[in-house]
Homo-oligomer: A and B are copies of this chain.
Amino acid sequence: MVVRPRSEKARQSVLAAMRRALAADGYDAVTIEGLAAEAEVSKQTIYRWWPSKAAILGEALLEGELPTPDLRATDDLATDLRAWFTAMSSRAEDGANTALARALIAVTATDAELGLALNKRLADPIVEQIVARLEVAQRAGQVREDVDAAAVADQFIAVSSYSSLLGRGLDEARVSAVVDVLMRGVGMGSIH
Q: Chain A interface (Cβ within 8 Å of chain B)?
A: 26-28, 102-103, 105-106, 108-110, 112, 115-116, 119, 147-148, 151-152, 154-155, 157-159, 161-163, 165-167, 173-174, 177-178, 180-192
Contact = CB atoms under 8 A, between A and B. Distances in A.
Total copies of this chain within the assembly: 2
Contacts of A159: 154-155, 158
A167 to B, nearest CB: 5
Nearest to A102: B109
B178 A181 contact: no
Identify which of A110, A115, A182, A186 gathers the most chain B CB atoms within 10 Å of its CB. Answer: A110
Contacts of A162: 154, 157-158, 161-162
B166 A116 contact: yes
B109 A27 contact: yes
B185 A185 contact: yes
Contact of A178 (B26, B28, B151): B151
Contact of A105 (B154, B165, B185, B192): B165
A185 B177 CA distance: 10
A187 B190 CA distance: 9
A154 B162 CA distance: 9
Contacts of A161: 158, 161-162, 165
Contact of A27 (B26, B105, B110): B110
A28 B110 contact: yes
Contacts of A188: 191-192
Contact of A182 (B158, B185, B190, B191): B185
Contacts of A184: 184-187, 189, 191
A103 B109 CA distance: 7
Contacts of A189: 184, 187, 189-192
